[in-house]
Structure 1
Amino acid sequence: MNLEKMGEKRGLGSWSTGFCDCFSDCTSCCLTMWCPCVSFGRVADIVDRTNSCCVQGTIFCLLGGFSPFLSLYSCIYRTKLREQYGIEGNRCKDCIASCLCPRFSICQEYRELQARGFDVSAGWKGNVQVGSRGVTTVPAVQGGMSR
């Protein structure tokens, strides 16, 4: 698995699944419906390319009581994901999706990352480790070893 190829833009394309296709993947659907902070944290971790799943999930959970801020926060990550992977759309559509149906929005983002080859549950760090396991030989040292 080549993480750089997974991150390439291939021109403006559409989402790999529809907005309301939640039940095409019952695992991510159930996770997002019952624990949206976990799904959001995992998506944000991969979009940011950091190891921030717990931090992002906690922020999402804390903002849960303040719906306008939660929707805005979710919208920011939907826009980041869409722009990173060259998916057609705009910020207005991202905000509408995040405000009106935040769980459907997060679920679609989760499925999008899966369709692009990520193991979303492993997070960014886990995907990097899996991607680097393809190294089968140790690089040769020129001139031998010396002190």
Structure 2
Amino acid sequence: MSSKMVIRQPQPVMVSQDSDEWGSGICDCCENAPECCFAFWCFWCFACKTSKDYGQCLCLPLLDLFRTGITPAVTMSMRASMRQRYGIKGTMCKDCVYSTFCTACTWCQMSREMKRRNIQIVLVSAKTS
């Protein structure tokens, strides 16, 4: 007679408590003052870094330099993409207004949102006796 011992490992459970709203307002730059200063003093470097962190081409924001209209298309598209990826409520109209009149603040808000939602998952090993 053979006996089998079955051990069931604890499974990781991930509970998402993300909201369908932005984690910070468009003017909440005080939440991360060094990042806000970086965006103010070296905007294009900050936008390129944020774009790369989001998984897009490093130089993508530089295309906004060549815009023919008033609205920065790349900034607006990145904001709309981020809303889609994270399930954030909003409208293209708001994306357009924020991207056009608050460009640096928009990039700061997107950067804060990525940091807030990019929670590292840590698996802790179970002790066996």
Structure 1 length normalisation: TM-score?
A: 0.61
Gaps of 5+ in 1: 119-130, 135-147
**Residue 39 (structure 1) shift:** 2.1
Q: Matches of residues 1-147 of structure 1 in structure 2 within 5 Å? A: 13-47=20-54, 49-50=55-56, 52-53=57-58, 55-57=59-61, 59-60=62-63, 63-64=64-65, 66=67, 68=69, 71-117=72-118
Pairwise CA RMSD: 3.0
The number of equivalent residue pairs is 110
Gaps of 5+ in 2: 1-13, 124-129
Give the letter aligned to residue 30 of structure 2: F
**Residue 43 (structure 1) shift:** 2.5
Q: Percent identity?
A: 25
Query: Structure 1 CA distance, aligned partners of 2:81 and 2:74?
Result: 11
Give the letter aligned to residue 56 of structure 1: L
Give the letter aligned to residue 41 of structure 2: W
More divergent stretch after superposition (13-22 vs 68-77):
68-77
The alignment partner of 1:68 has SS state of coil
- Structure whose alpha-carbon radius of gyration is higher: 2
> Per residue, is there more helix in 1 or in 2?
1
**Over 6 Å off, 4+ runs:** none
**Residue 26 (structure 1) shift:** 0.9
Query: Corresponding residue for 2:126?
Result: none
